[in-house]
Amino acid sequence: GNLPPETEALVARRQRLLGPAYRLFYETPVHFVRAQGAWLYDAQGAAYLDCYNNVASLGHAHPRVLEATARQAAIYASHTRYLNDTVLDCAEKLLSHFPPELSQVMFTCTGSEANDLALRICFAATGGTGLVVTENAYHGVTHLMAGASPSLGPGVNLGPHVRTVPAPRDAASFAADVAAAFADLSRHGVKPAALLVDTIFSSDGVIPGAFLGPAVQATHEAGALMIADEVQPGFGRTGAHWWGFQTHGITPDLVTMGKPMGNGYPVAALVAKPEVLLPFGTKARYFNTFGGNAVACATAMAVMEVIETDDLLANASRIGALMAEGLRSLTHEALGETRQAGLFLGLDILEDGHPSAARAARLVNLLREARVLISATGPKGHVLKIRPPLILTEAQADLFLTATKAALRLL
Ligand code: PMP
């Protein structure tokens, strides 16, 4: 198309060198050479406000986290087959943020691996394989998880042991749908094993709320276990709590996490009830070469310390509320509902009162031209997904709102 020549050249080089399954963001792809705090910088030094990245959740290149990573890498970096304190210190710190029933940790490198392992653990604990996920869920890249991720579209088949339920509108109907899905699996000779849900239903359109209590009960009645996928809402993103499941007032059987856990260093984990882990632990051996390595654990510990000492949950609550208030005060016929929990916001984009993926994409690209980065999500692709770092300032929130207002004028 009409891309700048340097961008065109990089895109061509990428197409030549990388496998074809990758997708770039934005009509004019962005090209960054460094990042700091909430800002990403291109080769010309222009600053872009990151309102999307859920990995560098403490801000890019966080000095305390970098220091911890470098210090540990220089001392000892090895794996979980040798005794070492760092993995245990990290496990203890992580568990201090969970209810007492959830008292054991297993480390992985990615959220996909954590979900994949969680599901294998549920297979072992229940003797079943039946899995229930939401209609537009995303849970990862492994074969097992891609087969549990309907948001990947019709090109990726769901496993024959998988059933989907609509994202929740209310607790009672969600529980009824979950119960019916497990009953359908049983009828087809598939024994129930797990309900796996992202506790903020991000890819289903960002749906914060307290929906899961009765569904967990229905899951247990079906003989299955509940896995809370905290890859997106975890580590304080929702402001009110460390984990999304706490908003629902439930105690899951297993909890998976990743993305912001290392603020950019690949580290992920699952936390579970010991009795749930035991059948898998007695039947199987688990070794993840890089999962739980000392550098990953030192990094994750530093991330947790920063969230605690800088009180980032409070900042996420305060700034998130300001952003939601600001979005709700905008008047434009394209704007539907704003949903928000901490610094996780979803905004419905409409045309003639109906969901409009085209308009959402146009706004995402207009904001990109204004050097503010967001994306769109949801089954219809019409939900703006706004997820800035937890350190976002009031001035940066204002900048986002001003840019959004200007983008709406150009829509
Ligand atoms: N679960 C959810 C809800 C996710 O958003 C993602 C990543 N987008 C994953 C799991 C997979 O995590 P990873 O990419 O680290 O494998």
Domain boundaries, the chain: 31-58+311-410, 63-309
Place of tokens 């610094």: 343
For residue 139 and ligand 1, the question of a CB distance below 6 A is answered with: yes
> What distance in angstroms lies between residue 250's CA and the mean position of ligand 1's atoms?
22
Phi-psi region of 391 (alpha: psi -120 to 50; beta: other; left: phi over 0): alpha
Report the residue among 107, 138, 201 best suited for mutation to probe ligand 1: largest number of ligand atoms under 8 A from its CB.
138
User: HSE-up of 33 (CA within 13 Å, CB side)?
Assistant: 5
**Residue 238: DSSP 8-state:** T
For residue 375 and ligand 1, the question of a CB distance below 6 A is answered with: no
For residue 121 and ligand 1, the question of a CB distance below 6 A is answered with: no
Query: Token pair for residue 197?
Result: 């849900």
Contact 326, 394 (CB under 8 A): no
User: HSE-up of 241 (CA within 13 Å, CB side)?
Assistant: 19
Residues of the chain with pLDDT under 70: 1
Nearest ligand 1 atom to the CA of 198 is 3
Contact 148, 139 (CB under 8 A): yes
Beta strands 335-341 and 268-272, pairing class:
unpaired
Protein residue closest via CA to atom 13 of ligand 1: 111
> What distance in angstroms lies between residue 101's CA and the mean position of ligand 1's atoms?
25
Nearest ligand 1 atom to the CA of 112 is 16
Protein residue closest via CA to atom 12 of ligand 1: 111
In this prediction, residue 1 carries a pLDDT of: 61
Q: Does domain 31-58+311-410 have CATH number 3.30.420.40?
A: no
Query: Token pair for residue 22?
Result: 């990758």
Contact 374, 52 (CB under 8 A): yes
> What distance in angstroms lies between residue 344's CA and the mean position of ligand 1's atoms?
16
Contact 131, 162 (CB under 8 A): yes
Contact 270, 106 (CB under 8 A): yes
Q: What is the tally of helices (H) and strands (E) in the chain? A: 13, 16
- Identify the CATH class of 63-309: alpha beta
Contact 243, 208 (CB under 8 A): no
For residue 199 and ligand 1, the question of a CB distance below 6 A is answered with: no
Span 371-394, pLDDT tens digits: 999 999 999 999 999 999 999 999
Contact 56, 63 (CB under 8 A): no
In this prediction, residue 252 carries a pLDDT of: 99
Contact 301, 89 (CB under 8 A): yes
Nearest ligand 1 atom to the CA of 110 is 15
For residue 204 and ligand 1, the question of a CB distance below 6 A is answered with: no
Protein residue closest via CA to atom 2 of ligand 1: 139
